[in-house]
């Protein structure tokens, strides 16, 4: 069990870090905090309600992450937007599409690939 002095010190540290995140708008990771200490800091940060906080990582690498509180109630830009799948997308066909190379491409297996044979052979040799 954590004694009262240590608990007060953790709460004060959480307040100082929250004030820094709020003033600078920068995220902060707090490493090396044991689970009981992390819980005390989470509780204090949730009561302050001035920054967002969560734990991240696994096992001995688990740490506390404080981020500036979201100002809008709309969905963040990195979350997908619900849109009907059957509606066409209005985009020029001649513009390239940026897509990660490691993601599979859906293409019917029975359609021929329109590429010169020597390019395909070079790719297979690599």
**What is the pLDDT, as a whole number, of residue 4?**
92
Q: Are 28 and 65 in contact (CB under 8 A)?
A: yes
The domain locations on the chain are: 4-68
> What's the first-to-final CA gap in the chain, in angstroms?
59
pLDDT tops 90 at residue 119: no
- pLDDT tens for residues 57-111? 999 999 999 999 875 344 444 555 455 555 555 545 555 555 555 555 555 555 5
Multiple choice CATH, 4-68, 3.30.1370.50, 3.60.20.10, 3.40.50.150, 3.30.70.270: 3.30.1370.50
Residue 9 CB neighbour total at 10 angstroms: 14
Write down the pTM of the prediction: 0.54
- What local confidence, expressed as pLDDT, does residue 2 receive? 76
pLDDT at 54: 94
Q: pLDDT tens, 38-57?
A: 999 999 999 988 899 999 99
């Amino acid at each position: 069990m954590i004694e009262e002095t240590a608990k007060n010190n953790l709460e004060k540290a959480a307040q100082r870090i929250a004030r820094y995140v709020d003033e600078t708008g920068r995220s902060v990771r707090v490493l090396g905090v044991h689970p009981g200490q992390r819980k005390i800091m989470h509780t204090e940060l949730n009561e302050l309600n001035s920054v967002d906080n969560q734990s991240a990582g696994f096992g001995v690498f688990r740490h506390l992450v404080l981020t500036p509180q979201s100002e809008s109630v709309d969905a963040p830009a990195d979350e997908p937007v619900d849109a009907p799948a059957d509606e066409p997308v209005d985009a020029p066909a001649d513009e390239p599409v940026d897509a990660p190379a490691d993601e599979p491409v859906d293409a019917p297996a029975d359609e021929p690939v329109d590429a010169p044979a020597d390019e395909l052979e070079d790719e297979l040799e690599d």
